[in-house]
Amino acid sequence: MSLPEPETEEGRAGLAALRTDPARAVLALDFDGTLAPIVADPGAARAHPGAVPVLGRLAPRLAGVVVITGRPAADAVAYGGFAAAEGLEGLTVLGAYGAERWDAADGVVRAPEPPAGVAAVREELPALLDGAGAPEGTWTEDKGRALAVHTRRTASPDEAFALLRDPLYALAERHGLVVEPGRMVLELRPPGVDKGAALTGYVRERAATTVVYAGDDRGDLPAYDAVGALRREGVGGLLLYSAPEAGDETVPDLARRADVTVRGPAGLVEWLRGLAGLL
């Protein structure tokens, strides 16, 4: 099986480094929109059925496989079907943008206590949404250490997103939180972590000389930046963009910078199968 040639020179160099020494390469993947198709109900998201089998084939050949997600680590593990998966005994899941860590080796989630601002936002959010005129279908996902306001199930998700944007930024700022905007979602979460720092830490921990990162949303941009910085240190890098299969708009900053574009989780699984075939 062959792999499509990366569209950039740096990407071709990254793929060549990966093929030369896979045992020193890290494969890092976002969850929603990358491993799991986007669905209207966040609680119904599940990894593409081909994801775990192909990751299980790849992982024993690599320095490490890590899922880096805005989800709580436990949710990603459950929705991904990652616990006790064949070949994924060394898998790591970095949840809540790197604040939480789960390792398949012991099945434990490690995480610090959320800051007090999260409880204050939880308290004030319902009245704020009422006052802002949040339309029917607006839904708050309580992630424990963050609150995510989803607009996908409103009649006009983009309009609802625009309506709620400023009030939610103001609320987050009042309580020392930051807003993470995503695909029809505005998440209020603690500052101080992002997917870039999470990825860099994992690459260093594994002493990797190549890193592959796949993502679909704005929250993945810090990981793209991290791959850029690692490349400048001499680490090989390959950036994949999981473009929307339907409905959602593309994220121009990811589309422009990616070395390889795949069509959603199904396209990513196909690419990973091609990689497994090559290795």
Question: Which positions lie near ligand L263DTV3, rule CB under 6 A?
Answer: 30-33, 38-40, 42, 45, 69-71, 141, 143, 148, 150, 152, 182-185, 187, 217, 219
Q: Which is nearer to ligand L263DTV3, 17 or 35 (CB)?
A: 35
Instruction: Note if 194 is an active site residue.
Output: no
Question: How far is the C-alpha of 134 from the C-alpha of 235, rounded, in Å?
Answer: 46
CB of 224 to ligand L263DTV3, least distance (A): 13
Q: How many CB atoms lie within 10 A of CB 165?
A: 16
* Nearest to 75, CA basis, from 177, 148, 180: 148
In angstroms, what CA-CA distances link 63 with 60, 76, 80, 234, 273? 8, 21, 21, 17, 18
CB of 162 to ligand L263DTV3, least distance (A): 15
Please identify, using beta-carbon distances, which residue of 5 and 41 lies nearer to ligand L263DTV3: 41
**Burial class (CB within 10 angstroms; exposed 0-12, middle 13-18, buried 19+) of 12:** middle
Strand residues in the chain grouped as ranges (E): 25-29, 64-68, 92-95, 100-103, 109-110, 139-142, 147-150, 178-182, 185-189, 210-215, 236-243, 260-263
CA pair distance 271, 126, nearest whole angstrom:
42
**CB of residue 108 vs ligand L263DTV3: minimum separation in angstroms?**
20
Burial of 108 (0-12, 13-18, 19+ CB in 10 A): exposed
CA–CA dist 74, 145 (Å, integer): 13
Measured from the CB atom, the residue of 42 and 53 that comes closer to ligand L263DTV3 is 42
- How far is Cα 205 from Cα 167, in angstroms, rounded to an integer? 40
21, 30, 103, 106: the catalytic one is 30
Of the pair 217, 270, the CB lying nearest ligand L263DTV3 is at 217
Minimal distance in Å, beta carbon 157 to ligand L263DTV3?
Answer: 8
CB nearer to ligand L263DTV3: pick between 15 and 260: 260
**What minimum distance in Å lies between the beta carbon of 216 and ligand L263DTV3?**
6
Measured CA to CA, the distance from residue 279 to residue 274 in angstroms comes to 9
Positions marked active-site: 30
